[in-house]
């Protein structure tokens, strides 16, 4: 477990500054929220585990979900992959599939994604997906310890019309 946490510190660099999330917090807050999302959205939206087609190894997860009190046709895209899976195009591949699901199956109007300005890997994915830089955003208070947080964050968006015209 310690080795696993150690190798995932880099994955948390732009999220928590590298610190692992306390297991109690995962058990008591995050997991119940994730499970409640499957109930609420019938499995169409929420958190998606990603596995390699070849061998089935767990490589990380994606989200496609609305804000807690937001409209159902505006959803957030996000991704967190294990370091061992980086650099193989998986984040772009998974995100493309989720954009397709959102627009072609679920009738979503707009997909948005946010990241730290300095998270070039994440921004590259948004740009490869032909999402548009829509805004700059302040760093959330719980992310001020993250390296580069003084540069704030960015928000990218893509509408169904833009997705259809690509
Ligand atoms: C960001 C992350 C999802 C990228 O996953 P990935 O599967 O390696 O990404 P892809 O292979 O699809 O790469 C997409 C593009 O970004 C580039 N890229 C990936 N990581 C990069 C980095 N750290 N710096 C610069 N470019 C990077 C890739 O080269 C690729 O561009 P290319 O096709 O022109 O070569 C992964 O590094 C990760 O999970 N990081 C930790 C969690 C995180 O920061 N999530 C985002 C929070 S908003």
Domain count across the chain: 1
Range 82-88 average pLDDT: 95
Question: Quick one: which of 44, 40, 129, 39 has its CA closest to 79?
Answer: 129
Number of other CB atoms surrounding residue 42 within 10 Å:
9
* Residue among 57, 63, 121, 146 whose CB has most ligand 1 atoms within 8 A, to mutate: 121
- % pLDDT > 90, the chain: 84
Cα(64)–Cα(14) distance, integer angstroms: 19
Two structure tokens written together for 71: 């409209």
| Residue with the two structure tokens 């990603």 | 50
Tell me what pLDDT residue 121 has.
97
Ligand 1 centroid distance, CA of 48 (Å): 18
Q: Is the pLDDT of residue 90 over 50?
A: yes
Cα(79)–Cα(129) distance, integer angstroms: 13
Confidence band for 34, pLDDT divided at 50, 70 and 90: very high
Q: Is the pLDDT of residue 4 over 50?
A: no
Range 114-143 average pLDDT: 96
Contact 47, 63 (CB under 8 A): yes
Tell me what pLDDT residue 113 has.
98
User: What mean pLDDT value characterizes the chain?
Assistant: 93
Tell me what pLDDT residue 118 has.
97
Classify the phi-psi angles of 155: left when phi > 0, otherwise alpha if psi is within -120 to 50, otherwise beta.
Answer: beta
* Residue among 11, 124, 130, 155 whose CB has most ligand 1 atoms within 8 A, to mutate: 124
Contact 109, 74 (CB under 8 A): yes
**CATH number of the CATH domain containing 106:** 3.40.630.30
Could you tell me the residue range of the domain that residue 161 belongs to? 3-165
Number of other CB atoms surrounding residue 97 within 10 Å:
14
Range 19-43 average pLDDT: 93
Q: Is the pLDDT of residue 37 over 50?
A: yes
Ligand 1, CB cutoff 6 Å, lining residues: 11, 14, 78-81, 86-92, 115, 119-122, 124-125, 128
Range 96-106 average pLDDT: 98
Cα(45)–Cα(151) distance, integer angstroms: 31
Ligand 1 centroid distance, CA of 85 (Å): 10
Ligand 1 centroid distance, CA of 39 (Å): 31
**What stretches of 9-156 show up as alpha helix (H) in DSSP?**
23-25, 31-41, 90-100, 120-128
- Ligand 1, atom nearest to 116 Cα: 48
Tell me what pLDDT residue 3 has.
39
Q: Give the model confidence (pLDDT) of 54-81 as tens digits.
A: 999 999 999 999 998 999 999 999 999 9
Q: Is the pLDDT of residue 6 over 70?
A: no
Cα(71)–Cα(75) distance, integer angstroms: 8
């Amino acid at each position: 477990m310690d080795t696993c946490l150690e190798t995932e510190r880099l994955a948390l660099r732009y999220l928590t500054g590298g610190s692992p999330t306390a297991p109690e917090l995962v058990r008591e807050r995050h997991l119940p929220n994730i499970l409640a999302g499957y109930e609420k959205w019938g499995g169409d939206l929420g958190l998606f585990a990603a596995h390699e087609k070849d061998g089935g190894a767990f490589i990380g997860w994606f989200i496609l979900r609305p804000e807690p009190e937001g409209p159902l046709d505006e959803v957030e895209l996000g991704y967190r992959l294990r370091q061992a899976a980086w650099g193989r195009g998986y984040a772009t591949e998974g995100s493309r599939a989720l954009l397709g699901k959102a627009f072609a199956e679920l009738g979503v109007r707009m997909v948005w994604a946010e990241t730290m300005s300095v998270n070039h890997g994440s921004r590259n994915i948004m740009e490869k997906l032909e999402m548009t830089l829509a805004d700059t955003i302040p760093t959330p208070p719980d992310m001020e310890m993250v390296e580069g947080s003084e540069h704030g964050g960015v928000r990218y968006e893509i509408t169904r019309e833009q997705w259809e015209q690509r």
